[in-house]
Chains A and B, each alone.
Chain A
């Protein structure tokens, strides 16, 4: 039980780190864009990111984030935002797909901030699949908790829902998504990460 709590809280503790923001910001933008399916998109985004991050650590995914693969990723990222925008409801395959693919993309590009518990997950991913996959899911739930909270907030406080439903929020999300997709497609995503880190670290 302690391991579960510690893993979750370690994920939460790095929310504001630049290396986390690179996965978190595109997810927040995607949730804002998905006005009619925020919760579905958020949950599948977390699942997709956790699975891909784990798959890389376990050696099941060998495509490096470089060259043509990153350019293709830029177009795929753009498609996830369009799908999220057009998703008509929670049960829509567009919502599921946008969340899952968007999350997988984030997990692939993620430069994880590795504390003690994530280190254990990474070190054992290849030999202890089910346990480390579950722990990675928990860790990622902590890292991406803001997504979940934004997706849940309209159910708890309807006024927040009405606020988030306004067009400027969707446009803001779409703008961030577009910047993310373009940065990927033109190969500047690493620089964006570096700049985020530099700002975060105060250099």
Chain B
């Protein structure tokens, strides 16, 4: 009796499991996955310590720096203040820049009110999933004090080749500045902890404060990113 029962349960588990795999394979994932990489602590001297550590956990405790300001966002709901998540790091030990005359993050920040920094690599499918949203953001706000910096941190050797990056950027329609973080120094400095992620996006305000920080490619989060940029721009 017990053997019969356990066999029935096993058959059920096996059937459901196989059915789930088949169903998922047929329907396909909604979003391609992104790849994360275990962090390696940079061996060189650390960058100047930020006054606050940029992390998502800080969002729960951070005091908002300002009350909600007038915004162009069309909503009738009361908007939550946008929290300050910490001071942004700089970008250093880069191997160069593409799509810009600028040579540093500070230079870009000085010429813009809001800077969106995204860690990406062209071979990462989920990074590609975000490019349309970033392109829309760039088209709408690029001439209004918003700059996007794509920090290209390659996962594998073929992604570190500058010619490949240039080709990929052209094919993918990435027209915003690209910082070449070939050794992934900044990738690991910005993303503390044992694991870093592609893509990960930050919004930095005019005071060099991080106001948005998300991992992954969720379209919902990138819509939120658009709204945050819109509101921050209105605040300034």
Tell me the A residues contacting B by CB distance below 8 Å. Answer: 6, 8-10, 12-15, 17, 19, 56-57, 59, 61-66, 108-109, 111-116, 118-120, 122-124, 126-127, 142, 145, 148-149, 152-157, 190, 194, 197-198, 201, 203
Determine whether the beta carbon of B57 is less than 8 Å from that of A59. yes
CA of A6 to CA of B29, assembled, Å: 10
Tell me the B residues contacting A by CB distance below 8 Å. Answer: 6-7, 9-11, 13-14, 17-18, 20-21, 23-25, 28-41, 55-57, 59-60, 123, 126, 155-158, 193-195, 197, 214-221
Q: Is the interface of A mostly helix, strand, loop or mixed?
A: helix
Given A10-B29, A116-B30, A127-B57, check contact A203 B123 (CB 8 Å).
Answer: yes
> Which residues from chain B contact A149 at a C-beta distance below 8 Å?
13-14, 17-18
Determine whether the beta carbon of A15 is less than 8 Å from that of B216. no
Determine whether the beta carbon of B155 is less than 8 Å from that of A194. yes
Determine whether the beta carbon of A115 is less than 8 Å from that of B155. no
When A and B form their complex, which 5 residue pairs have the shortest distance between CB atoms, in order from nearest?
A: A119-B216, A113-B33, A155-B10, A126-B57, A13-B29
CA of A155 to CA of B31, assembled, Å: 35
> Which residues from chain A contact B23 at a C-beta distance below 8 Å?
9
> Which residues from chain A contact B60 at a C-beta distance below 8 Å?
126-127
CA of A103 to CA of B123, assembled, Å: 28
> Which residues from chain B contact A113 at a C-beta distance below 8 Å?
33-35
> Which residues from chain A contact B10 at a C-beta distance below 8 Å?
152-156
Given A63-B194, A66-B38, A194-B156, check contact A115 B56 (CB 8 Å).
Answer: no
> Which residues from chain B contact A61 at a C-beta distance below 8 Å?
194
- Smallest CB-CB separation from A128: which chain B residue? B60
Determine whether the beta carbon of A115 is less than 8 Å from that of B20. no
CA of A116 to CA of B126, assembled, Å: 9
> Which residues from chain A contact B37 at a C-beta distance below 8 Å?
111
Determine whether the beta carbon of B56 is less than 8 Å from that of A12. no
CA of A190 to CA of B158, assembled, Å: 15
Determine whether the beta carbon of A115 is less than 8 Å from that of B30. yes
CA of A109 to CA of B217, assembled, Å: 22
- Smallest CB-CB separation from B34: which chain A residue? A114
> Which residues from chain A contact B197 at a C-beta distance below 8 Å?
114, 122
- Smallest CB-CB separation from B40: which chain A residue? A66
CA of A19 to CA of B128, assembled, Å: 17
- Smallest CB-CB separation from B123: which chain A residue? A201
Determine whether the beta carbon of B126 is less than 8 Å from that of A115. yes
* B167 smallest CB distance to A (angstroms): 13
> Which residues from chain A contact B25 at a C-beta distance below 8 Å?
13
Task: Specify which of B6, B20, B34, B215 is in contact with A145 (CB 8 Å cutoff).
Answer: B20
CA of A157 to CA of B20, assembled, Å: 19
> Which residues from chain A contact B218 at a C-beta distance below 8 Å?
116, 119-120
